[in-house]
C-alpha cells in the first residue's frame, strides 16, 4: 500500500496558521494535478483536527471516497453523505489493516498526522506545493525527526501563479 502526502504550504514551510486556518492558500487555484491525484487514491487518512476543519467548510468535498479519521477522542458527527470511519492505535497496524482491506493508495493529510507517519517511516511519497507567500508562523509541515530522511526527487513543476510543486519518494 502506498501512503502519499499532497499538500500546499507557504514558502516558509507552514501548512496552516496557528489557529488551523489556511487562508493564505489561493482562493481559485489553477490546475496543479490535484484532480488527477484524487482520482488515483482509494481513500483518505486524516487527523481529527483536520476532519473538524473540513466539517466547517460548509459542505462535504470528498464525495463517497472513504475517509479514515485518526483520533483517540470521539468524532464530531459526519455529514450524511460522508463515508467516515474512526480509527485509533498504532500507525503501522492501521496501515496493515487498511492494506488487508484492499486499499492500495491512501492520501494522508493533516500536519500532525503527516508528521507522525513520516517519523514512523510509513509515508511513501510527498507532493508539496509551495504557495508564494510568507506567513511567518504557523503549523509546520515537517516537525522534529529523530534521523535524516532521504528523499528521491521525482519532479518539480512551476505554474504561472508562482506555485512551485516538488514531488519526492521517501527512501525506505
| Model pLDDT for residues 97-121, shown as the tens digit of each residue | 999 999 999 999 999 999 999 999 9
- pLDDT (0 to 100) of residue 171: 85
- Position 48 scores a pLDDT of 93
Q: What is the mean pLDDT of residues 4-11?
A: 97
Give residue-wise pLDDT tens across range 12-65: 999 999 988 888 988 766 888 999 999 999 999 999 999 998 888 878 889 999
Domain coordinates of the chain in residue numbers? 2-24+31-170
Residue 61 confidence (pLDDT):
86
pLDDT at site 31: 87
Q: How far is CA 65 from CA 4, 22, 40, 77, 82, in A?
A: 16, 23, 11, 17, 8
Q: What is the model's pLDDT at position 143? A: 87
Q: Which CATH architecture has domain 2-24+31-170?
A: 3-Layer(aba) Sandwich (3.40)
Q: Please report the pLDDT score of residue 22 as a whole number.
A: 85
Angle at 125 between CA 141 and CA 15, to 5 degrees: 15
Report pTM: 0.93
Q: At what angle do helices 48-55 and 111-119 cross, to 10 degrees?
A: 160
Alpha helices in the chain (DSSP H): 34-40, 48-55, 91-100, 111-119
pLDDT digits (tens, 9 = 90+) for 116-132: 999 999 999 999 999 99
CA distances from 144 to 56, 123, 149, 150 (A): 29, 15, 11, 15
Residue 5, pLDDT > 90, answer yes
Nearest to 147 by CA among 111, 110, 172: 172
pLDDT score for 146:
87
Residues belonging to the chain: 172
pLDDT of res. 104: 98
**What pLDDT score was predicted for residue 38?**
95
Which residues, in sequence order, are bridge partners of residue 46? 69, 109
Radius of gyration of the chain (CA): 16
Instruction: Give the distance between the most distant pair of CA atoms in the chain.
Output: 43
Amino acid at each position: 500500500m502506498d501512503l502519499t502526502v499532497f499538500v500546499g504550504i507557504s514558502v516558509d514551510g507552514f501548512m496552516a496558521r496557528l489557529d488551523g486556518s489556511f487562508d493564505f492558500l489561493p482562493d481559485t487555484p489553477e490546475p496543479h494535478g490535484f484532480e488527477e491525484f484524487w482520482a488515483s487514491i482509494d481513500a483518505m487518512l486524516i487527523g481529527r483536527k483536520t476532519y473538524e476543519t473540513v466539517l466547517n467548510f460548509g459542505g462535504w468535498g470528498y464525495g463517497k471516497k472513504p475517509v479514515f479519521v485518526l483520533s483517540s477522542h470521539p468524532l464530531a458527527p459526519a455529514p450524511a453523505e460522508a463515508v467516515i470511519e474512526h480509527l485509533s492505535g498504532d500507525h503501522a497496524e492501521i496501515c496493515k489493516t487498511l492494506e488487508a482491506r484492499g486499499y492500495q493508495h491512501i492520501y494522508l493529510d493533516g500536519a500532525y498526522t503527516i508528521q507522525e507517519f513520516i517519523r514512523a517511516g510509513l509515508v511513501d511519497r510527498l507532493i508539496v506545493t509551495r504557495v508564494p507567500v510568507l506567513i511567518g508562523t504557523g503549523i509546520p509541515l515537517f516537525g522534529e525527526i529523530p534521523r535524516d530522511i532521504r528523499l528521491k526527487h521525482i519532479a518539480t513543476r512551476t505554474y504561472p501563479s508562482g506555485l512551485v510543486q516538488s514531488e519526492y519518494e521517501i527512501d525506505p
